[in-house]
Amino acid sequence: MNVKITKPSKEIKTFRSLPASKSLANRSLIIRALCEESFKIKNLSNSDDTQVLNVALKNLSNPIIDIGAAGTAMRFLTALLSITPGERILTGSERMKQRPINELVNILNVLGAKIDYVEKEGYPPLKITGSKLNAKDISIKGNVSSQYTSALLMIAPYLEGVFNLTIIDKILSKDYIRMTIKLMEEFGAKVEWTGNKINVGKGSYQPKEIIIEGDWSAASYWFEIVSLSKNAMIELTGLKKESLQGDSVLPELFKTLGVDSAFTNFGIRIKNSATLCEFFEYDFTDCPDLAQTLAVTLIAKKIPFKLTGLDNLSIKETDRIKALVVEFQKLGVNIQAESNHTLLWKGGEEIMVPENHFVETYKDHRMALAFTPLSLVTKELVIKDPNVVTKSYPDYWSNLEEVGFGINYF
């Protein structure tokens, strides 16, 4: 199935309720699973990733746990199952079987875990036999997925002894690690983070009700829409100014890209302002999920750019750097990828949509989400495999339709 998007014929003035943060929801679910007493998680994300993890945690007695394309669930469950009694096979989609997990598995096995590879060495599926693990002084590379670090930290209070983790080299997605630690501390864990060293004392989580805030990643597509519109004003509810999410940097990123932001009692109000940026440069190390949104926005606004800190985009749902390069080449725009962590565009090229052009999504929700607002410039656009957005933003298409976009499936 495909979807044809046409730009609205009227100004966009609306209130939007965003999906809950799946990053906060997924971490809260793991903490609840470890807690001796259950607690309420209000406003749980309805994203595929969160729902898959929630179902898996309710069915830990199953001998085979299939988490599909949910990368967070794969990393978090690998750690959780390593200390949960019983033997299970943890598997996922074909793409998941191509995403390396050896760094996490190696560390867990050093701590005493019993994890074996069922098919290809270093990749899922995994055979995990739960057992008691002993805390040790260990190190992890900072330039691999931050979810490995978060997975280890969340189980750390339940290890025997004090858990000392040293992060080597550049730390990617640091704000996601910070989010994990803040949540752990809210539930009673004792964590110290100094420089590149993190220490977690033995203990247990204490139950408390939590309300999941709105998803700043999902908000990015509405910032993009306002930036590419005229006279648009949108109030996004459920967002917090003092947020644990690294993507809350959005107001700063879009300040010179035609979006004025003001926090309200319910969230944030965004509206059009003058575009002041002539060249855009930013390091996305702490917010890599925003890179696609910014790349599309900048090209649509004809603003040259240099985007850095994209080190781990190649191991996401797809190789996101390659996907951006290929899809824009089809539109007559040549962006350059350097050393797999930088994207450059010199500008001066016009977007030309060929007849019967389809934007490939590569089974990556953020490709569909980020490219769709481009229809405001091209007037219409066709996106392949639109259901891929359910991974993080299930109501995206209906939300767009409600504000005036034409959404036609075929």
The residues carrying an active-site annotation are 289
What does the H/E/C string look like for the chain? CEEEEECCCCCCEEEEECCECHHHHHHHHHHHHHCCCCCCEECCCCCHHHHHHHHHHHCCCCCEEECCCCHHHHHHHHHHHHCCCEEEEEECCCCHHHCCCHHHHHHHHHCCCEEEECCCCCCCCEEEEECCCECCEEEEECCCCHHHHHHHHHHHHHCECCEEEEEECCCCCHHHHHHHHHHHHHCCCCEEEECCEEEECCCCCCCCCEECCECHHHHHHHHHHHHCCCCCEEEEECCCCCCCCHHHHHHHHCCCEEEEEEECCCEEEEEEEEECCCCEEEECCCCHHHHHHHHHHHHHCCCCEEEECCCCHHHCCCCHHHHHHHHHHHCCCCCEEECCCEEEECCCCCCCCCCCCCECCCCCHHHHHHHHHHHHHHCEEEEECHHHHHHCCCCHHHHHHHCCCEEEEC
